[in-house]
Structure 1
Amino acid sequence: MRSAEAFPNLEKLDIGWFSSLALPPLSTSLKKLKKLKCGSLNLASLSSKLETLTDLTVHFTNTCKCITVETLESLANLKKLEIWEADERSLPEEGMRALKSLTSLSVNYCRKLMGGLPQGWLRHLTALEELDIFQCDGVVELPDEVRYLKFLAKVELKSLPKMVYLLKALQHLSSSLQCLFLSTLCEQSSLPEWLGDFTSLEELTISECPKVTSLPTRIRGMTNLQFMLVMECPELERRCEREIGEDWHNIQHIPHLVPDGDFDDEFRTEYDKQYNEYEDPNMCFDVPQDTPKTSEDHSQYYNRVFGNRRDKLKVEKIKMKKVPLQISQFQ
């Protein structure tokens, strides 16, 4: 096969995580490639000519833990980057400077990261609008570099067992942040009063954060807040109870308020089943065919699971972009 001209019109390529798969020299023919999912070793074999790429998902392997500066510099048009099992060496700062068009960054299962995201990962992503961090066990706080992300509108922080100081860095985003999703932050104990300064916030989800026991009183001034979901936070749920909870008078202005008790048993059973099955990526052989395996699937999955209950919950106008859990992509 003449590999150099094999796929001149190819726009999407999904190699998966097969790091031992030997690829022919395709780079000269991938002139229209926009979306790529592969292992880090495969990315290296495709050379650095990926100027047309806008969507990249990379799983870092033990044999290749770093994307070269040259490859990152060739990704000037990249808008979405999703990484799995990276460490502090995986994205050199010199190369990250080139990602001026990046609007979405998702960091998953990076369990070797200690303290926070490495210096230089965020500072230069000045167009970033969405940041998603999932199952990074050593991450304690967000880096101060978040202050440079003037367009950051959506932050999702999920399954970060050591995170304590998440909102310290977010304080600089009070005029841009629209959606804040907090899930399974076991050490997060409170939400600061200055959260009320987030005048642009429209959606707030607090799920499985048992130490968060109350809301800041200034939340009553967040007039743009349209949707709040409280789930698996026993004391906070009690305080948000309609009419009688201590925090009810601070949140009664929110049009779509969904305390945990409003979920019916069918939804809770399905949510718990899905969430518990996918905490460990090694359990991929149990993944049902209808569960989301990529971020594009999340919206459809959320609507299927949650949509049938909208009449009961009186949240017909809620348009969530992602299901409130992250499913392993290891297949």
Structure 2
Amino acid sequence: MSCGLLQLTSLQTLKLFRCRELKELPRDIKKLVTLKHLEIDCWESLTHMPYGIGQLNSLQTLPLFVVSKELTASSSKHCGGIDELNKLNNLRDVESLPEELLQNLASLEYLKIWGCPRLKSLPRFMQHLTSLKVLVIEKCEELDLCIEESDDGTQCVTTLQKLKISGVHRLITLPKWIDNVTSLKRLDIYLCPNLTSLPEEIGSLTSLLSLEINDCPNLTSLPEEIGNLTSIREFYIEECPNLTSLLEGIGNLTSLQTLIIRKCPHLKERYQEGIGEDWHKIAHIPDFEYID
């Protein structure tokens, strides 16, 4: 590609279409500091992203990020690794994550996917992340976590210890592969306005120590299978105004030490200390508090 392109220091949009032999972008593309949109329709031939692409602080559109399949190349002075993607804080139009991005990250322990409002699905990459312990998904309004489900659960990471889902507006229930994440110790679900239920498979999370559900206005009930979570110590339910009751078998949660309920009017009446209809079911919990 002609280096004359790099003299266009005020360039805001760059579209490269039908460049089927394009193997790499200019090494000094980082000099296009005003670039906002980079669109390429032929990614198959690209071998990597250039080192320094993370310096394009104005970049908003980048449909795909290509990571070199060669680990030695990824660490060279010409090839940008996945850490470059982490620097592109203004990206807005990411619709998918390529499987190639994560195939070589067997040692990755923490993954955060944040602020991708057009991201629609996660690729079937989970089986490659064999060391992943923490997965955080936030502000991905269009993400459908169930769209790529497989019957055998191979996309699930069995090493996962913490899962946080926040601001995923299309989340109606948790994906069924949740029952394979038996090492999970903490599950947080925030700001999911269309969440209506939790699957019965959640009862398989026998290592779970903490469960928090916050600001899910359409959640109406909890599955009785939560009663199988005999290791759980902390349970937080906040701002779920349509939740009418806890599970019948909450008394089975003999390890439960803390139960905090906030701004759940139906639960306030039902579990009011001493006089509530179901107070006796939670009276054994040492640290119980209702907060208006």
Q: What TM-score bracket applies, with the shorter chain setting the length?
A: 0.5 to 0.7
Partner of 2:105 in structure 1?
A: 75
Could you tell me whether the CA contact under 8 Å between 2:197 and 2:222 is conserved in 1? no
Q: CA deviation at 1:39?
A: 8.3
Write the mapping of 1:225-304 to structure 2, written as runs, cut at 5 A.
225-261=256-292
| 2:194 corresponds to 1:194 | no
Structure 1 CA distance for aligned equivalents of residues 252 and 261 of structure 2: 19
Q: CA deviation at 1:194?
A: 3.0
Q: CA deviation at 1:46?
A: 6.7
**Residue type of the partner of 1:252?**
A
TM-score normalised to the size of structure 2? 0.67
Structure 1 CA distance for aligned equivalents of residues 239 and 94 of structure 2: 35
Give unpaired runs (5+ residues) of structure 2. Answer: 1-33, 39-48, 54-58, 76-80
Q: CA deviation at 1:105?
A: 0.8
Structure 2 CA distance for aligned equivalents of residues 236 and 247 of structure 1: 9
Structure 2 CA distance for aligned equivalents of residues 138 and 171 of structure 1: 23
Note the alpha carbon deviations across 1:270-318, whole angstroms, 9 max, x for none: xxxxxxxxxxxxxxxxxxxxxxxxxxxxxxxxxxxxxxxxxxxxxxxxx
**Residue type of the partner of 1:165?**
S
Partner of 2:131 in structure 1?
A: 101
**One of 151, 157, 164 as aligned partner of 1:132:** 164
Q: CA deviation at 1:123?
A: 2.8
Partner of 2:65 in structure 1?
A: 44
* SS at 1:106 equivalent: strand
Partner of 2:204 in structure 1?
A: 172
Could you say if the C-alpha distance between residues 40 and 126 of structure 1 is closer, same or farther in structure 2, counting changes exceeding 3 Å?
Answer: farther
Q: CA deviation at 1:79?
A: 0.6
Write the mapping of 1:26-37 to structure 2, written as runs, cut at 5 A.
none
Structure 2 CA distance for aligned equivalents of residues 80 and 115 of structure 1: 18
Note the alpha carbon deviations across 1:2-50, whole angstroms, 9 max, x for none: xxxxxxxxxxxxxxxx9849996269xxxxxxxxxx9895993775646
* SS at 2:221 equivalent: coil
| 2:253 corresponds to 1:222 | yes
Aligned length: 230
Q: CA deviation at 1:228?
A: 0.7
**One of 136, 142, 147 as aligned partner of 2:179:** 147
**One of 25, 29, 48 as aligned partner of 2:51:** 25
* SS at 1:70 equivalent: helix
Percent identity between the aligned chains? 30
| 2:194 corresponds to 1:162 | yes
Could you tell me whether the CA contact under 8 Å between 1:156 and 1:180 is conserved in 2? yes
| 2:214 corresponds to 1:183 | yes
TM-score normalised to the size of structure 1? 0.60
Q: CA deviation at 1:139?
A: 1.1
Could you say if the C-alpha distance between residues 219 and 106 of structure 1 is closer, same or farther in structure 2, counting changes exceeding 3 Å?
Answer: same
Note the alpha carbon deviations across 1:238-280, whole angstroms, 9 max, x for none: 222211112211111111111115xxxxxxxxxxxxxxxxxxx
Give unpaired runs (5+ residues) of structure 1. Answer: 1-17, 28-37, 262-331
Could you say if the C-alpha distance between residues 96 and 217 of structure 1 is closer, same or farther in structure 2, counting changes exceeding 3 Å?
Answer: closer
Partner of 2:6 in structure 1?
A: none
Could you say if the C-alpha distance between residues 41 and 235 of structure 1 is closer, same or farther in structure 2, counting changes exceeding 3 Å?
Answer: same
Write the mapping of 1:113-132 to structure 2, written as runs, cut at 5 A.
113-114=143-144, 116=146, 118-119=148-149, 123-132=155-164
Note the alpha carbon deviations across 1:38-77, whole angstroms, 9 max, x for none: 98959937756469989x9686945543333332112111
**Residue type of the partner of 1:138?**
R
Could you tell me whether the CA contact under 8 Å between 1:103 and 1:130 is conserved in 2? yes
Could you tell me whether the CA contact under 8 Å between 1:227 and 1:254 is conserved in 2? yes
**RMSD over aligned Cα atoms:** 3.4
